[in-house]
């Protein structure tokens, strides 16, 4: 029982880290612009398909595809942002929801057309496969790699946000957009860069997720709910909030499915609703 | 007062003209009888369209008129559908009372939810409606002893309508049953929209801050319309159960809520006929292209959604209204004989 | 003199370390036309927000007649007759002027709860709305959507909606902001000609209008009331000259 608990904790942590990568970008951009981007997981899906394509069709090594997944997702997000999203920053949340759901639909259908509806295979290199056995607990190498990578990214993100000029501008814009504009900060520019960065991270998350949760065209819709839970429970614009919410969600989802397979997902939604009613701005949100 | 448009002689006449039935409306409802004559093989589809139109109308009340975003309206549709199915399965197959009970049950659920809905806005509201939808879906999935879970609810048997009309395979009874329910609830909605309450709902949609500044009871209004809308959605779900004699988890699916949103937006939110027109177009197109992979189906739908948001903010009916209001068309219309022009 | 219609005692409000209202005590008698003046950032709009309940005061009391309304929410204050308009148009863009004013009347009368009778059945409310619009020169455009109205007409509609709630006290936040001067004069004339049952307090920057239309003036500086008096007293006061010409308190 104890052993299985540690196993669930470890797997849940890895899963939570994945959710964090997928959602942190949305949290920051939502905090800045209040733009409800339901198409965020589309960028995750793009990253996933980039990795699959590069590996299976062009024979790239797995690790080399990761930066590509990041870059392509970021580039795609810039295109969408410039051509569509920016026209709706001052629209109602309904319009924002509709446009981005439309985008999700298009991306799901396109992925189905290009790649079929099957789960995409990914062949991890041998040094990322297998597992250790530490006192009876199975520690998967790939999950360990995932956690390590997420920690590096989190540290880099927090560092960039806390200690760089650009980070200070982003924080100011999240805190109070109008005041930031008044101070002469180029909020639109900072937003565009943050948006690309966040989407790139989602792309990276999508690529890393293939071995854990699989990849098929429904990815953009299926993980949207999880990402939205992380963002709304963690609080808009809060990296720490997203991290905590993602880990808690990852572990409770794993534990729920392991110990209460009948009502696991039910409990997740129940906890989320209760949390939101208790604190509508999320655990770490200010507004 | 010479500059007032000649058609309107005063505020009372103006308001009465708003509620008058136009010829287009009457023609529309007469046309809903056409399937009996023209397409007797499509009555099953026609009753599905009527049910969906009713569901869309219920969403229009809260989203189109009061401006509350809901991504989980299928919760009430599904709740009504399961209620109708379960009471029939356990021995009470009388359709009309079953319909009433299901509507009341969904309305009660909506009333409870309305306390939450009226408190939140923006992202929290989107999340809560979305989460509530998923919660109910998972609950129905888990409680398979009651709902049949993923296998669907089996053993729903409806008694003949009014003790006379059996629900037949061709959908004759189904269609006129769902059409009558749709029409009656349309009348209720039409009444509601033109009432002082309906005006207040539009006020909430347009500017909820200003509503506070005129001392409006916005929260009570929102709760009331949410309850009414939930009951209507529940009735739509119940009609679906009764005419198909089965319930599957699909009635609670997020996809159903999203499709509904698409129909309403395509047709034109905040217009009585927006949801109905949207439902007809969507369901008929869906039927025509039912051969293609459902995943591909969402490509044109997605493109349409994007196009509507960017280029046609008030949906198809909004676009049509704009065209008919244009000067040139008005001029051309005046050259037509009066019986062709229609009212309004 | 009788009990003032609206009064405040020791009203306090700060945002963090920024004090926006400090020990505000005012008393408005019935029927008087007050102007509230002061440099930018003096806390004029904040005071209106505090009095109408859009902001919660940190300390102090607000009384409407003899009733303490400090604990009431904005809606409840409106129903008791304390009503405001907004500096930036805050209207219902997709309703026409007749609908917007009728809406306010229906809310006042509590008939907005009924959903089974058509609006046209409430002919009293409709007549009253039309009457208000007519008195503010809006009758001819009352079937047009609010967003299609000219800017000055929208400012008048702001006031029309407020009047429809039957206020005892009407707080107007820069009612003529953005309106050309000639139209502003008409607008202020309409305001001062309102029934003497209504006490009016308006924020205005143009001193010509202030001295032409106000019967008393309150001067605010830095979240405090500097002084209160008749236009003659205010124009003669050296401190007011210093505030407006010296620039010591600007910001």
Which of C165, C195, C228 lies at the terminal end of a domain, its last residue?
C165
Q: Are C90 and C157 in contact (CB under 8 A)?
A: no
Average pLDDT value for residue range C31-53: 90
Average pLDDT value for residue range A193-211: 91
Average pLDDT value for residue range B47-54: 95
Torsion of the alpha carbons at B85, B90, B93 and B98, rounded to the nearest 10: -60
Position B315 pLDDT exceeds 80: no
Say yes or no: C109 and C147 in one domain: yes
pLDDT bracket for residue B341 (50, 70, 90): low
- pLDDT digits 0-9 by tens, C156-178: 999 999 999 999 999 999 988 88
As a whole number, the mean pLDDT across chain A is: 86
B residues 122-151 lying closer than 8 A (beta carbon) to C: none
Position B342 pLDDT exceeds 60: no
Position C249 pLDDT exceeds 50: no
Distances in whole angstroms, Cα of residue A76 to Cα of each of A72, A260, A265: 6, 40, 32
- Please report the pLDDT score of residue B339 as a whole number: 61
- pLDDT digits 0-9 by tens, A272-286: 888 888 877 777 776
pLDDT bracket for residue C1 (50, 70, 90): low
Position A2 pLDDT exceeds 70: no
Residue written as tokens 């659920």? B109
What's the complex ipTM? 0.86
Say yes or no: C75 and C176 in one domain: yes
Position B340 pLDDT exceeds 70: no
Domain that holds residue C234: 1-81+167-251
Q: Are A208 and A68 in contact (CB under 8 A)?
A: no
Domain that holds residue B178: 37-288
Position B37 pLDDT exceeds 60: yes
Q: Do B116 and A277 touch (CB under 8 A)?
A: yes
- pLDDT digits 0-9 by tens, A49-94: 999 999 988 889 999 999 999 999 999 999 998 888 888 887 888 8
- Please report the pLDDT score of residue A160 as a whole number: 85
Q: Which residues does chain A have within 8 Å of residue B139's beta carbon, measured at their own beta carbons?
A: 266
Give the CATH number for residue B145.
Answer: 1.10.3470
What DSSP letter does each residue of chain C carry, written as one string?
A: ----SEEEEEEEEEETTEEEEEEEEEEEPTT-EEEEE-STTSSHHHHHHHHHTSS--SEEEEEETTEE-TTS-HHHHHHTTEEE--SS----TTSBHHHHHHHHHHHHHTGGG--SS-GGG-HHHHHHHHHHHHHTT-GGGTTSBGGGS-HHHHHHHHHHHHHHT--SEEEEESTTTT--HHHHHHHHHHHHTS-TTSEEEEE---HHHHHHH-SEEEEEETTEEEEEE-HHHHHH-HHHHIIIII-TT--
Position A287 pLDDT exceeds 70: no
Question: Measured between CB atoms, does A241 come within 8 Å of chain B?
Answer: no
Smallest Cα distance from B45 to chain A, Å: 24
Q: Do C119 and B15 touch (CB under 8 A)?
A: yes
Q: Do A105 and B305 touch (CB under 8 A)?
A: yes
Average pLDDT value for residue range B68-81: 92
**Would you say residue B326 lies in a domain?**
no
Give residue limits of the domains in chain A: 26-120+127-278
Q: Which residues does chain B have within 8 Å of residue C48's beta carbon, measured at their own beta carbons?
A: none
Say yes or no: C73 and C185 in one domain: yes
Compare all CA atoms of chain C with the CA of B209 and give the residue at the minimum distance. C90
- Please report the pLDDT score of residue B198 as a whole number: 94
Q: Which residues does chain A have within 8 Å of residue B130's beta carbon, measured at their own beta carbons?
A: 225, 228
Say yes or no: C139 and C177 in one domain: no
Nearest by CB to residue B135, choosing from A113, A228, A270, is A270
Which phi and psi (to 5°) does residue A163 adopt? -115, 0
Compare all CA atoms of chain B with the CA of C107 and give the residue at the minimum distance. B216
Compare all CA atoms of chain C with the CA of B270 and give the residue at the minimum distance. C94
Establish, for the pair of chains B and C, how many residue pairs have beta carbons separated by less than 8 Å.
145
Which of C165, C200, C231 lies at the terminal end of a domain, its last residue?
C165
- State how many domains chain C has: 2
Q: Are A51 and A84 in contact (CB under 8 A)?
A: no
Which of C139, C165, C191 lies at the terminal end of a domain, its last residue?
C165
Average pLDDT value for residue range C125-141: 90
- Please report the pLDDT score of residue B143 as a whole number: 85
- Please report the pLDDT score of residue C251 as a whole number: 38
This prediction has a pTM of 0.87
Nearest by CB to residue C120, choosing from B5, B8, B16, is B16
Question: Measured between CB atoms, does C170 come within 8 Å of chain B?
Answer: no
- State how many domains chain B has: 1
Compare all CA atoms of chain B with the CA of A116 and give the residue at the minimum distance. B295
Nearest by CB to residue B212, choosing from C74, C102, C161, is C74
- Please report the pLDDT score of residue A286 as a whole number: 64
């Amino acid at each position: 029982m104890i052993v299985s608990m540690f196993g669930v904790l470890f797997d849940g942590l890895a899963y939570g880290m994945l959710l964090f990568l997928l959602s942190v970008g949305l949290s920051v951009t939502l905090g800045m612009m209040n733009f409800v981007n339901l198409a965020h997981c589309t960028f995750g899906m793009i990253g996933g398909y980039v990795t699959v394509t590069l590996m299976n069709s062009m024979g790239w090594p797995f690790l080399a595809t990761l930066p590509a997944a990041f870059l392509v997702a970021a580039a795609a997000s810039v295109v969408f942002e410039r051509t569509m999203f920016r026209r709706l920053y001052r629209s109602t949340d309904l319009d924002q929801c509709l446009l981005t759901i439309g985008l999700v639909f298009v991306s799901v259908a396109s992925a189905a057309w290009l790649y079929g509806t099957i789960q995409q295979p990914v062949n991890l290199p041998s040094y990322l496969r297998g597992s250790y056995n530490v006192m009876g607990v199975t520690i998967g190498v790939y999950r360990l790699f995932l956690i390590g990578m997420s920690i590096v990214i989190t540290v880099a993100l927090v560092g960039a946000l806390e200690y760089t000029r650009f980070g200070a501008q982003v924080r100011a814009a999240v805190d109070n957009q109008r005041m930031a504009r008044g101070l002469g900060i180029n909020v639109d520019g900072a937003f565009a860069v943050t948006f690309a960065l966040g989407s790139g991270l989602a792309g990276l998350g999508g690529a890393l997720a293939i071995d854990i949760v699989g990849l098929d065209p429904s990815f953009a819709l299926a993980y949207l709910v999880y990402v939205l839970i992380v963002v709304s429970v963690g609080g808009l614009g809060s990296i720490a909030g997203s991290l905590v919410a993602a880990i808690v969600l990852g572990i409770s989802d794993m534990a729920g499915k392991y110990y209460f397979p009948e009502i696991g997902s039910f409990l997740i939604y129940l906890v989320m609703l209760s949390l939101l009613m208790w604190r509508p701005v999320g655990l770490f949100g200010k507004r | 007062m010479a500059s007032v448009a000649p058609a309107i002689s005063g505020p009372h006449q103006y308001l009465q003209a708003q509620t008058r039935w136009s010829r287009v409306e009457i023609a529309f409802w007469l046309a809903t009888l056409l399937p009996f004559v023209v397409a007797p093989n499509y009555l099953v589809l026609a009753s599905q369209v009527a049910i969906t139109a009713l569901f869309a109308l219920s969403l229009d009340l809260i989203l189109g008129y009061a401006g509350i975003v809901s991504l989980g309206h299928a919760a009430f549709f599904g709740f009504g559908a399961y209620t109708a199915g379960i009471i029939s399965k356990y021995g009470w197959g009388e359709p009309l009372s079953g319909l009433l009970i299901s509507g009341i049950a969904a309305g009660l659920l909506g009333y409870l939810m309305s306390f939450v809905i009226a408190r939140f806005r923006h992202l929290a509201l989107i999340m809560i409606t979305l989460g509530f939808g998923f919660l109910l879906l998972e609950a129905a999935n888990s409680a398979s002893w009651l709902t049949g879970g993923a296998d669907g609810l089996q053993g729903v048997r409806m008694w003949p309508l009014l003790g006379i009309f059996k629900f037949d395979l061709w959908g004759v009874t189904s269609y006129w049953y769902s059409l009558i329910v749709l029409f009656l609830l349309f009348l209720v909605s039409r009444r509601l929209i033109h009432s002082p309450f309906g005006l207040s709902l539009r006020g909430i949609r347009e500017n909820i801050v200003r509503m506070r500044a005129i001392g409006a009871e916005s929260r009570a209004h929102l709760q009331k319309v949410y309850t009414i809308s939930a009951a209507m959605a529940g009735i739509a779900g119940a009609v679906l159960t009764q005419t198909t004699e089965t319930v599957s988890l699909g009635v609670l699916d997020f996809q159903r809520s999203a499709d509904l949103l698409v129909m309403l937006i395509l047709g034109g939110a905040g217009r009585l006929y927006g949801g109905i027109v949207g439902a007809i177009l969507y369901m008929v197109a869906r039927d025509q292209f039912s051969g293609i992979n459902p995943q591909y189906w969402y490509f044109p739908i997605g493109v349409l959604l994007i196009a509507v948001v960017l280029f046609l903010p008030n949906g198809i009916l909004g676009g049509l209204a704009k065209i008919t209001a244009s000067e040139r068309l008005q001029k051309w219309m005046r050259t037509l004989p009066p019986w062709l022009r229609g009212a309004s | 003199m009788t009990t003032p219609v609206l009064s405040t005692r020791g009203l306090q409000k700060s945002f963090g370390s920024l004090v926006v209202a400090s020990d505000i005590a005012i008393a408005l008698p019935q029927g008087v036309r007050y102007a509230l003046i002061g440099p930018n950032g003096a806390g004029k709009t904040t005071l209106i927000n505090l009095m109408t309940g859009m902001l919660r005061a940190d300390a102090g009391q607000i009384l409407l007649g003899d009733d303490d309304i400090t604990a009431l929410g904005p809606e409840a204050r409106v129903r008791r007759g304390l009503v405001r308009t907004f500096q930036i148009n805050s209207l219902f863009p997709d309703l026409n002027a007749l609908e917007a004013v009728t809406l306010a009347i229906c809310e006042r009368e509590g008939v907005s709860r009924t959903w089974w009778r058509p609006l046209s059945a409430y002919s009293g409310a409709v007549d009253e709305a039309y009457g208000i619009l007519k008195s503010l020169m809006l009758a001819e455009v009352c079937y047009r959507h609010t967003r299609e109205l000219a800017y000055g007409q929208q400012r008048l509609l702001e006031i029309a909606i407020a009047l429809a709630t039957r206020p005892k006290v009407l707080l107007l936040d820069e009612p003529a902001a953005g309106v050309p001067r000639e139209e502003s004069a008409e607008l202020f004339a309409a305001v001062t000609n309102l029934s003497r049952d209504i006490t009016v307090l308006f924020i205005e920057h143009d001193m010509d209008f202030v001295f032409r239309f106000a019967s008393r003036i309150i001067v605010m500086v830095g979240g405090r009331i500097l002084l209160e008096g008749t236009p003659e007293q205010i124009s003669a006061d050296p401190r007011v000259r210093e505030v407006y010409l010296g620039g010591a308190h600007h910001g």
